[in-house]
Amino acid sequence: MKLLTHNMLTSHVKGVTKGYPLIIKATEVKVNELEFNAQFVSRMIPKLEWNALIQAAEWLGRSQDLPSTLIPNYENDEEFLHKVHRILLEVEVIEGCLQCPESGREFPISKGVPNMLLIEDE
Amino acid sequence: MKLKELESCLQQVDGFEEPKIQLEQYPTSPHIAGCMLYTIHNTFDDIQNKLVADLGCGCGVLSVGAAVLDAGLCVGFDIDEDALDIFKGNVEDFELSNIDTVQCDVCSIGSSYAKKFDTVIMNPPFGTKHNQGIDMQFLRTAISMASTAVYSLHKTSTRDHIQKKANDWKVKMEVIAELRYDLPASYKFHKKKSVDIQVDFIRFTPT
């Protein structure tokens, strides 16, 4: 599970009003290299919940001096874009779980795939 | 990449080992997947450097194709763990890093991913196995997720019904091609050797 994907995931447990962001508890993390494309990264940034990304990076121990708020003119800052590329697209959670911040319900991540399926009465 | 090369590449994608009939698991043939992806990429430029979602990805033939065509990232969504295991195997075989997967029920996604993706591609279940209406649920979800376009396959016989829904949902519908989906006998109850189903390859865009 990449952090770009994590940034979009929410918990839909019954009764939960804000199941976001899901707390990452990782037991195995991998870095999988992916070709850098400045345009793609720049375009993804405005779609992100930036705070959730910063938190996710912290949970993985990889804050790497990412700013807590977006710098203006980030589209032209190659170094910044490279940092974002790395955390968003190259770091992958292979094993662990995602925890709903409100209900505490845990969604397992196994072989890199988060399982968001809920049982009947959830 | 030429269409023939893409098809040939997709022939290497592993399919379902034990397809689950109630989930309508049929592989999308390399030919159909190739045609779809080739058009989406060359005619509409909706794959390269785009954030793509593949709903009901199964073993991932469409996702692998999108990744090979340089999608920025392609995320596959499916309910079945076994299919996703095969999907992972395919991703490893092809050594692709621009793919991710989520196990979930597409019908329960709702609007969680509203407009987050540039493009959604899919070959949804048609609703032939006690799951009538599932194709429209998939379509509704896909439309909410995509900011640019949804590309999907639907039975030609349902075209008018889909057009009505598209109008209700205020989306533009364009039948790009009519394809014959050749389904070889894959389940024990299949009496014929293979069957041709006429399907529409459709592009949906917000008005």
Contact residues, chain A, for B113 at CB < 8 Å: 8
Beta strands in B65-170 (DSSP E): 73-78, 99-103, 117-122, 146-155
pLDDT, mean of each 10-residue run, chain B (207 residues): 94 94 90 96 98 97 98 98 97 97 92 92 87 90 97 95 96 94 64 78 95
Q: Is the pTM of this model over 0.90?
A: yes
Predicted confidence at residue A63, as pLDDT, reads 85
In a domain, B133, yes or no: yes
* pLDDT (tens digit per residue) in A15-25: 999 999 999 99
CATH of region A3-114: 2.20.25.10
| ipTM, interface predicted TM-score of the complex | 0.96
Contact A91, A2 (CB under 8 A): yes
Structure token digits, residue A46? 């405005």
Q: Given an 8 Å threshold on Cβ–Cβ distance, is B112 in contact with A113?
A: no
B114 touching A (Cβ < 8 Å) = no
* pLDDT (tens digit per residue) in A61-107: 998 778 888 888 999 999 999 999 999 999 999 999 999 999 999 99
Contact residues, chain B, for A44 at CB < 8 Å: 51, 72
Q: Given an 8 Å threshold on Cβ–Cβ distance, is A111 in contact with B81?
A: no
* Total of domains in chain B: 1
Q: CATH code at B127?
A: 3.40.50.150
Contact A27, A59 (CB under 8 A): no
* Domains in chain A: boundaries: 3-114
Domain encompassing residue B119: 3-7+32-183+191-206
Choose among A10, A37, A114: nearest Cβ to B103.
A114
Predicted confidence at residue B147, as pLDDT, reads 97
* pLDDT (tens digit per residue) in A38-48: 999 999 999 99
Give how far the C-alpha of residue B196 lies from the chain's centroid of Cα atoms, to the nearest Å.
Answer: 18
In a domain, B20, yes or no: no
In a domain, B112, yes or no: yes
* Cα distance between residue B136 and residue B125, in whole Å: 10
Contact residues, chain A, for B112 at CB < 8 Å: 8-10, 12
